[in-house]
Amino acid sequence: MSDHTVSDSMLGRFVNELEESFIALILGLMTIITFINVVLRYGFNTGLIWGLEMTSILFAWLVLFGVSYAVKTTANLGVDAVTNLVPPAGRRIMALFAGVVCIAYACLLMKGAWDYWANFANLPQTTGRWFPTGFEDMTRTSYRSWYEMIDTPMPSWLRWIEPLINQGDAYEKIPRFIPYVILPFGAALLLFRFIQATVRIWKGSSDSLIVSHEAEDAVEDVAHMNKD
């Protein structure tokens, strides 16, 4: 299995463990919540009213958090039919170009993610259409920390944020800036991992951003059974 990227440093191993545990935990929680809701409804005629919304949030977290991990482990799908035909020098140039496109993509996503999230956290959006050219002046409607989710109740252990961000008003449901924070966080991680991956290609320790096919790991596991 190659889901453990080789990391020499303690920190590297720790971060890796953290990322993998988090992905496993989110998917596990999504499954359990949905399952419990079925049991409650079918067996007990009741249900967690927030179950569906919470699962949807976790789904977004899984993908937005996990996508940087997929870049780190070179798990993203791509087409290598053409790149395999060109000589190594050409392949390296193509891979570097691909890396630059990915970085540009992550930058655009990062700006969008910040702009989307910022007002929900009473923070200024950036100005500019393609590139951030500065921060906007906040107007009276730029403060949207009051904006709550629909079903998920505010847990009492989070109440301490109310005086900090909601002028002391109590939240009935969790405010939107909490689930949405995964957007800027995930986009920043994605940008970081794409830069790392491109540097690896530049240094020659890697030659591509893609795994050609989804089942490569599994295939490696069983291939020995049919080797001549």
Partner 1 sequence: SCEEGEMVIKFSHVTNTDRHPKGIAATLLAERVNEEMNGTACMEVYPNSTLYNDDQVLEAMLQGDVQMAAPSLSKFEQFTKVFRIYDLPFMFKNIDAVDAFQASDAGQAMKESMTRRGLLGLEFWHNGMKQLSANKPLVMPSDAAGLKFRVQPSEVLKAQFEALDASPQPMAFSEVYGALQTGVVDGQENTWSNIYGQKFFEVQDGTTETNHGVLDYLVVTNVDWWEGLDPAVREQLGNILHEVSMERNAAVGEVDAEARQAVLDAGGEIRELTAEQRQAWLDTMKPVWEQFTDDVGQENIDAAQSINNSM
Partner 2 sequence: MDVVLLFLMVIGLMLVGVPIAVSLGFSSIVFLLVLSETSLSSVAQSFYQAMAGHYTLLAIPFFILASSFMSTGGVAARIIRFSIAIVGHLPGGLAIAGVFACMLFAALSGSSPATVVAIGSIVIAGMRQVGYSKDFAAGVIANAGTLGILIPPSIVMVVYASATDVSVGRMFLAGVIPGLIAGGMLMATIFGIAVVRKLPKGEWRGWGEVMESGGDAIWGLGLIVIILGGIYGGVFTPTEAAAVAAVYAFLIANFVYRDMGPLRMADGNHKALWEKPIALVTAFFHRDTKHTLLEAGKLTVTLMFIIANALILKHVLTDEQIPQQIAAAMLDAGFGPIMFLVIVNIILLIGGQFMEPSGLLVIVAPLVFPIALQLGIDPIHLGIIMVVNMEIGMITPPVGLNLFVTSGVAGMPMMRVVRAALPFLAVLFVFLIMVTYIPAISTWVPDRVMGPQVRCEGASLPSEPLERAFCEARGFGGAAATE
Q: Give the residue with the Cβ less far from partner 1, 116 or 192.
A: 116
Rounded to an integer, what distance in angstroms lies between the CA atom of residue 161 and that of residue 92? Answer: 49
Interacting partner of 34 out of partner 2, partner 1, none (Cβ under 5 to 8 A depending on kind): partner 2
User: Which C-beta is closer to partner 1: that of 105 or that of 146?
Assistant: 146
Helix (H) or strand (E) holding 175: strand 173-175
| 42 near partner 2 (CB under 8 A) | yes
Contact predicate 142/124, CB 8 Å? yes
CB 145 within 8 A of CB 165: yes
Map the footprint of partner 1 across residues 159-218, applying CB under 8 A: 172-173
Entry field: residues in the chain: 228
Position 9 contacts partner 1 (CB under 8 A) = no
CB-based contact 159:170 (threshold 8 Å)? yes
In Å, what is the CA distance from 5 to each residue of 59, 123, 124, 174? 24, 36, 37, 36
Residue 136 as a binder of partner 1 (CB under 8 A): the answer is no
Taking the least distance from each CB to partner 1, the nearer of 18 and 150 is 150
| Shortest distance, position 209 Cβ to partner 1, whole Å | 32
In the range 36-65, which residues lie near partner 1 by CB under 8 A?
41, 45-47, 49, 52
Burial code (b: 16+ CB inside 10 Å, e: under 16) for 76-111 equals eeeeeeebeeeeeeebbebbeebbeebbeebbebbb
Contact partner at residue 79 from partner 1, partner 2, none, CB < 5 to 8 Å by partner kind: partner 2
Q: Could you say which of partner 1, partner 2, none residue 10 binds, taking C-beta under 5 to 8 angstroms by partner kind?
A: none
Taking CB under 8 A as the criterion, the residue among 122, 123, 124, 151 binding partner 1 is 151
Judged by CB under 8 A, the chain residues 64 through 83 that form the site for partner 2 are: 64, 66-67, 69-70, 73, 75-83
Q: Using alpha carbons only, what angle is made at residue 215 by residues 107 and 76, rounded to the nearest 5 degrees?
A: 5
Site residues for partner 1 per CB under 8 A: 41, 45-47, 49, 52, 116, 119, 139-141, 144, 146-148, 150-151, 172-173
